[in-house]
């Protein structure tokens, strides 16, 4: 006897729809929901940087600055424009950099310290908007100082300081983790900072340490960072 299966087809189609549609919707929500959010993006990162121009300074008292230094960066950005497959964020970077040396002033070696406040933009693109091109233009402050730390005492003597405009370009890669709908996880970034602080010299300090013409302190500064971002 032949069995007619035609009446089962609508039921099979309905069952397939029930099983497949929620899974597809869940995947779409994970990939899209946080991308289209109005929430801001926040970053905390630490890293190392390479500053050839600093290492090229010739101090009158002898010694050299370390070419490699340590840095910390905080950033906050908010979406300002969305496109079909990308978005533009605008915000602010706040960071510090420090390089040690073997140049002694009185009792301690000198440190080169930098702080910057830079309005910046991020153009985020790619699957899940995991990639970004970054750029900023802002204000950079630089000094060279002897820092004495003997708990609970702290003291510093600034031999030279300067400030002025600067900027950076770079890129960031996000590693997705946790709840994709909130875009939290690790990130890595590469940046190149451009600065020009002019000639480094002693500012009426004795004994002479930097001299009256240790050289011009300029960029580029090559920076690599790893950090955590959330949105």
Phi and psi at residue 205, to the nearest 5° = -105, 145
For residue range 18-76, what is the model confidence (pLDDT) as tens digits?
Answer: 334 443 333 333 344 445 567 899 999 999 999 999 999 999 888 999 999 999 999 99
**Domain contains 138:** yes
**Domain contains 216:** yes
Sequence-ordered list of residues with C-beta below 8 angstroms from that of 56, at least 6 positions apart, any chain: 215
pTM to 2 decimal places: 0.81
For residue range 83-115, what is the model confidence (pLDDT) as tens digits?
Answer: 888 999 999 999 999 999 999 988 889 999 999
Phi and psi at residue 126, to the nearest 5° = 85, 175
Name the pLDDT band for 128 (thresholds 50, 70, 90).
Answer: confident
Per the structure, the complete domain to which residue 30 belongs is given by 6-230
Name the pLDDT band for 3 (thresholds 50, 70, 90).
Answer: very low
Q: How far is CA 189 from CA 95, 139, 172, 174, 222, in A?
A: 14, 21, 4, 9, 11
- Position 177 scores a pLDDT of 58
CA angle 28, 35, 222 (to 5 degrees): 130
**Domain contains 1:** no
Structurally, how many domains does the chain consist of? 1
**Domain contains 110:** yes
Q: What six digits make up the tokens of 135?
A: 């750029």
**CATH number (domain holding residue 35):** 2.40.160.20
**Domain contains 144:** yes
């Amino acid at each position: 006897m032949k069995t007619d299966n035609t009446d089962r087809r609508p039921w099979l189609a309905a069952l397939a729809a029930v099983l497949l549609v929620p899974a597809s919707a869940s995947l779409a929500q994970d990939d899209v929901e946080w991308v289209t959010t109005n929430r801001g993006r926040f970053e905390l990162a630490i890293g190392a940087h390479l500053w050839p121009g600093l290492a090229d300074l010739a101090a009158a008292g002898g010694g050299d600055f370390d070419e490699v230094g340590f840095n910390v960066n905080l950033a906050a950005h908010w979406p300002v424009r969305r496109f079909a497959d990308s978005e533009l964020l605008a915000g602010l970077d706040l960071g510090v950099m420090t390089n040690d040396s073997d140049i002694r002033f009185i009792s301690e070696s000198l440190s080169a310290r930098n702080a910057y406040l830079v309005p910046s933009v991020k153009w985020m693109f790619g699957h899940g908007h995991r990639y970004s091109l970054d750029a900023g233009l802002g204000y950079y402050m630089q000094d060279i100082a002897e820092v004495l730390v003997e708990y609970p005492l702290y003291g510093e003597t600034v031999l030279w300081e300067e400030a002025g405009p600067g900027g950076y370009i770079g890129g960031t890669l996000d590693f997705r983790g946790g709840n994709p709908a909130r875009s939290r996880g690790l990130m890595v970034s590469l940046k190149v900072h451009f600065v020009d602080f002019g000639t480094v010299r002693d500012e009426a300090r004795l004994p002479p340490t930097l001299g009256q013409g240790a050289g011009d302190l300029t960029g580029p500064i090559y920076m690599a960072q790893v950090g955590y971002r959330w949105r």
